[in-house]
Amino acid sequence: MLMKRLEENIFRVLMITATLVISGLLLFILGTIIWKGAPALSWDMVTKLPGGGFYLGREGGVLNAIAGSFYVITGAVAMSMIISVPVVMYVNFYLQHKSILAGFVRFCFDILLGIPSIVYGAFGFALMIFLGMRASLGGGIITVGMLITPIMMRSFDEVARLLPGELTDSLLSLGSTKFEMIKVVMRQLMPGFITAALLATGRGIGDAATVLFTAGYTDNLPGALSQPAATLPLSIFFQLGSPVPEVQDRAYASALILTGLILMLSFTARYFSSRFSKHKI
Amino acid sequence: MHRLRKIKDKGARWFMRVMAFSAILILLIIGIMLFLKAYPVIRENSLLKLLSSSNWKPTAGEFGFLPFIISTLYVSAIALIIAFPLSLLSAIYLNSYASEGVRRVIEPVTDLLSGIPPVIYGVWGTITIVPFIARNIAPGFAGSSSGYSVMAGGVVLAVMVIPLMVGLFTEIFNSIPSEMTDASLSLGATKWQTVKRVILRRSLPGIVAVTVLALSRAFGETMAVLMVCGNSIRIPHSLLDACYPLPALIANNYGEMLSIPGYESALMLAALILFVIVFIFNGLSRFTLNRLERRFHF
């Protein structure tokens, strides 16, 4: 009896400790980034392009990387929407409930979800050589799009699966075609769709390995799809590799900017998903 | 009017079907393309030799992947040894012990952790873990170490797979019907006994599947590990040695040194190895998880 209680208590303490350690890690990481990044953060960092002696520690900012990341992720999210919306709709509303094909498509996306971003990066680069493209904004968009499509598809699919059958049944029994049904259903699924898109945005904007070979790097703003584009994660990586302390400090500041962006996206996504559960039929 | 609706519906159906199949196709294309690109180096040297040799001299046409494979395994193993107990204990706590309030606080924590980009983990690792190892741990053992080591890579990687593992473990535990745990509790078992004899036993296949999934995630993680593991080409002999995992090999060299014959092909082989391992690991664990899902309807 005593042993039973003792064991219970030991494990309870261990479990609470583990949970505290995990929560502490988040605070530790965020704290480190803020502590190192905040002193070097300035208005110039976010509003200026790298100046002449930027990589020696002189004036300038990382606007090139912020804008480049923005362009890449906008294109990539648009691309992954165009693919994932039809696929999710097809799998959930056109195929039968227990269809083997639906299961297979989901399975393929699960595998795609697990493929490391460096493999997407290498594949994307090989594909670009094959198509005769050079490292460019367009190449970055395609590769990041491939990386985030499975993420978007999975989280959107999870929401679509929960849609009550009564809604689709009543629409169909009123004589609508499946396509018309989908237009109504999309409205109901909108918050879940936005959450999925925000999640995918967060993953795509922070990934460095996909854009390493495919998007290139430049100190200017990308003007066309065929020009190279700088991205925030790569800018952090390159600046951190510099021997100049001022440049390293700027890497920390850039890391803080990226972390801030990710946190904002994450909170917005949570807001939309809680709204979604409130309005669920 | 009636006909137009039908045509629209047909058109949409075909478009969606094509999209769904193209997704399957992409998976195939990636595999085939990587294989075709890696084939020249496999043809010149036997696959067995490539995987078991530790001679990496691209200019001499020698590509031995052993140091990279050992590094990858080493770093991932350390990561799982750290992450597994923490995640499992925490997931059990969240499932069986924690109040609704605690759960509502912890859930965003794992969400945010999983959202932090690899580069940020890398920056964090270089600021905190690497100097800590160099200053406080290394002098006690091997003498001097730069801190950029297997251990640093393992710790950073562990923090990265924890949110994934906690999330999936919790999902599995939640899928166990409450009738089962209620029956155990009403027979006088303590909570921990219930956890041990009912929940853990019941979800053992799921736990294995999640661990394999986390392992395959660890294999492929690039940027964060690359930034803290030192990148020197040799087989690491201790936790404090620098190492060079497969993804870092691709990231550091691909796109630059393509003029050396066979180099690109060798790097593509590295990508192919990662692809195949992840494909198999992911496939098996997703298959197991999907079957569990069907059994319990969660």
Distance of CA A65 to the CA centre of its chain: 17
Residue B187 has pLDDT above 70, yes or no: yes
Enter the DSSP assignment of A40: G
**Mean pLDDT score, B292-298:** 60
CA angle, corner A71, sides to B123 and B20, nearest 5? 100
pTM: 0.91
Residue B297 has pLDDT above 50, yes or no: no
> For residue B271, which residues of chain A lie inside 8 Å, CB to CB?
118-119, 122-123
Residues A15 and A153 in one domain: no
**In DSSP terms, which residues pair with B63 in a beta bridge?**
B56
- Residue B82, in any domain of the structure: yes
Instruction: Give just the sign of the alpha carbon dihedral B104, B105, B108, B113.
Output: negative
> For residue B13, which residues of chain A lie inside 8 Å, CB to CB?
90, 94, 178-179
CA atoms within 13 Å, Cβ hemisphere of A190: 6
Residues A98 and A25 in one domain: no
Residues 6+ away with beta carbon under 8 Å from B248: B222, B225, B226, B229, B231
Can you tell me the distance from the alpha carbon of A210 to that of A129, in angstroms, rounded to the nearest whole number? Answer: 15
**Mean pLDDT score, A189-207:** 90
Residues A153 and A219 in one domain: yes
- The tokens for B78 are 């350390």
Alpha-carbon distance B278 to nearest alpha carbon in chain A (angstroms): 6
Residue B103 has pLDDT above 60, yes or no: yes
* A209 at interface of B, judged by CB pairs closer than 8 A: yes
pLDDT of res. A217: 84
> For residue B268, which residues of chain A lie inside 8 Å, CB to CB?
122, 126
* B109 at interface of A, judged by CB pairs closer than 8 A: yes
Residue A98 has pLDDT above 80, yes or no: no
> For residue A14, which residues of chain B lie inside 8 Å, CB to CB?
89
Residues A61 and A180 in one domain: yes
Question: Is the distance from CB of B87 to CB of B166 less than 8 angstroms?
Answer: yes
Residues 6+ away with beta carbon under 8 Å from A41: A253, A256, A257
Residues 6+ away with beta carbon under 8 Å from A97: none
- Residue B258, in any domain of the structure: yes
B86-95 tens-digit pLDDT: 999 999 999 9
- The tokens for B119 are 């580069």
> For residue B162, which residues of chain A lie inside 8 Å, CB to CB?
22, 25
Alpha-carbon distance A11 to nearest alpha carbon in chain B (angstroms): 7
A5-16 tens-digit pLDDT: 888 899 999 999
Q: Is A206 within 8 Å of B123 when comparing Cβ atoms?
A: no
Residues A12 and A129 in one domain: no
Question: Is the distance from CB of B67 to CB of B233 less than 8 angstroms?
Answer: yes
Q: Please name the residue that has the structure tokens 């066309």.
A: A224
Residue A250 has pLDDT above 80, yes or no: yes
Which one of A15, A126, A178 has the shortest CB-CB distance to B90? A15
A49-80 tens-digit pLDDT: 877 666 776 777 788 899 999 999 999 999 99
Can you tell me the distance from the alpha carbon of A117 to that of A123, in angstroms, rounded to the nearest whole number? Answer: 10
Question: What is the band of A242 on the pLDDT scale with cuts at 50, 70, 90?
Answer: confident
Amino acid at site A79:
M
Question: What is the band of A96 on the pLDDT scale with cuts at 50, 70, 90?
Answer: confident
Instruction: Give just the sign of the alpha carbon dihedral B103, B105, B107, B109.
Output: negative
- Residue B114, in any domain of the structure: yes
Can you tell me the distance from the alpha carbon of B220 to that of B239, in angstroms, rounded to the nearest whole number? Answer: 20
Q: Which domain holds residue A61?
A: 46-279
Enter the DSSP assignment of A62: S
Distance of CA A72 to the CA centre of its chain: 12
**Mean pLDDT score, A14-34:** 94
A135-179 tens-digit pLDDT: 889 999 999 999 999 999 999 998 888 888 888 888 888 888 888
- Pairing verdict, β B62-63 and B56-57: antiparallel
- The tokens for A153 are 């598809």
**In DSSP terms, which residues pair with A263 in a beta bridge?**
none
What is the tally of structural domains in chain A? 2
B206-263 tens-digit pLDDT: 999 999 999 999 999 988 999 998 888 888 888 888 889 999 999 888 766 567 778 8
Which one of B17, B94, B117 has the shortest CB-CB distance to A207? B117
3-state secondary structure of A51: coil
Alpha-carbon distance B253 to nearest alpha carbon in chain A (angstroms): 10
Residue B57 has pLDDT above 50, yes or no: yes
Residues A228 and A148 in one domain: yes
Alpha-carbon distance A71 to nearest alpha carbon in chain B (angstroms): 18
pLDDT of res. A70: 93
Can you tell me the distance from the alpha carbon of A19 to that of B282, in angstroms, rounded to the nearest whole number? Answer: 27
Can you tell me the distance from the alpha carbon of A19 to that of B215, in angstroms, rounded to the nearest whole number? Answer: 21
Nearest-by-CA chain B residue for A11: B192
Alpha-carbon distance B60 to nearest alpha carbon in chain A (angstroms): 23
Query: In this structure, what CATH number is given to the domain that contains residue A150?
Result: 1.10.3720.10
**Model ipTM value:** 0.90
Task: DSSP for chain B, please give it.
Answer: -HHHHHHHHHHHHHHHHHHHHHHHHHHHHHHHHHHHHHHHHHHHS-HHHHHH---EEGGGTEE--HHHHHHHHHHHHHHHHHHHHHHHHHHHIIIII--HHHHHHHHHHHHHHHHS-HHHHHHHIIIIIHHHIIIIIGGGTTS---S-SHHHHHHHHHHHHHHHHHHHHHHHHHTS-HHHHHHHHHTT--HHHHIIIIIIHHTHHHHHHHHHHHHHHHHH--HHHHHHSB--SS---STTS-B--HHHHHHHHTTT-TTSTTHHHHHHHHHHHHHHHHHHHHHHHHHHHHHHHHHHT-
Alpha-carbon distance B250 to nearest alpha carbon in chain A (angstroms): 7
Spell B126-159 as b/e; 16+ CB within 10 A means b. Answer: bbbbbebbbeebbeeeeeebebbbbbbbbbbbbb
Question: Is the distance from CB of B229 to CB of B125 less than 8 angstroms?
Answer: no
Alpha-carbon distance B115 to nearest alpha carbon in chain A (angstroms): 7
Instruction: Give just the sign of the alpha carbon dihedral B26, B68, B158, B210.
Output: positive
Higher pLDDT, A273 or A229: A229
Q: Is A110 within 8 Å of B286 when comparing Cβ atoms?
A: yes
- Residue B66, in any domain of the structure: yes
Can you tell me the distance from the alpha carbon of A245 to that of B138, in angstroms, rounded to the nearest whole number? Answer: 25
> For residue A101, which residues of chain B lie inside 8 Å, CB to CB?
20
Task: DSSP for B236-281, please give it.
Answer: --STTS-B--HHHHHHHHTTT-TTSTTHHHHHHHHHHHHHHHHHHH
Residues 6+ away with beta carbon under 8 Å from B205: B288, B292
Residues A34 and A74 in one domain: no
Nearest to B248 by CA among B184, B152, B145, B162: B152
**In DSSP terms, which residues pair with B62 in a beta bridge?**
B57
Can you tell me the distance from the alpha carbon of B267 to that of A123, in angstroms, rounded to the nearest whole number? Answer: 11
Q: Is B117 within 8 Å of A146 when comparing Cβ atoms?
A: no
- Residue B40, in any domain of the structure: no
pLDDT of res. A276: 63
pLDDT of res. A280: 54
* B132 at interface of A, judged by CB pairs closer than 8 A: no
Residue A140 phi, psi dihedral angles, 5° rounding: -60, -45
Residues A16 and A77 in one domain: no
* A205 at interface of B, judged by CB pairs closer than 8 A: yes
- The tokens for B73 are 């395994």
Angle between helices B150-174 and B263-296 (to 10 degrees): 20
- Residue B30, in any domain of the structure: no
> For residue A252, which residues of chain B lie inside 8 Å, CB to CB?
123, 127
Query: In this structure, what CATH number is given to the domain that contains residue B213?
Result: 1.10.3720.10
What is the tally of structural domains in chain B? 1
Nearest-by-CA chain A residue for B219: A116
Q: Which domain holds residue B247?
A: 51-296
Which one of B16, B93, B250 has the shortest CB-CB distance to A94? B16
Residues A257 and A153 in one domain: yes
Question: Is the distance from CB of B222 to CB of B136 less than 8 angstroms?
Answer: no
B131-159 tens-digit pLDDT: 898 888 877 776 667 788 899 999 999 99
User: Which of A206-220, B159-173, B197-211 has the lowest average pLDDT?
Assistant: A206-220
- Residue B60, in any domain of the structure: yes
The Cβ of residue A232 has, within 10 Å, a number of other Cβ atoms equal to 28
Residues A91 and A220 in one domain: yes
Nearest to B229 by CA among B130, B120, B117, B121: B130
- Residue B3, in any domain of the structure: no
Residues A112 and A203 in one domain: yes
Can you tell me the distance from the alpha carbon of B242 to that of B238, in angstroms, rounded to the nearest whole number? Answer: 9
Q: In a mutagenesis test of the A interface, which of B6, B16, B129 is the best target, namely the one with the most A β-carbons within 10 Å?
A: B16
pLDDT of res. A130: 86
* B254 at interface of A, judged by CB pairs closer than 8 A: yes
pLDDT of res. B11: 87
> For residue B274, which residues of chain A lie inside 8 Å, CB to CB?
116, 118-119
Residues A66 and A12 in one domain: no
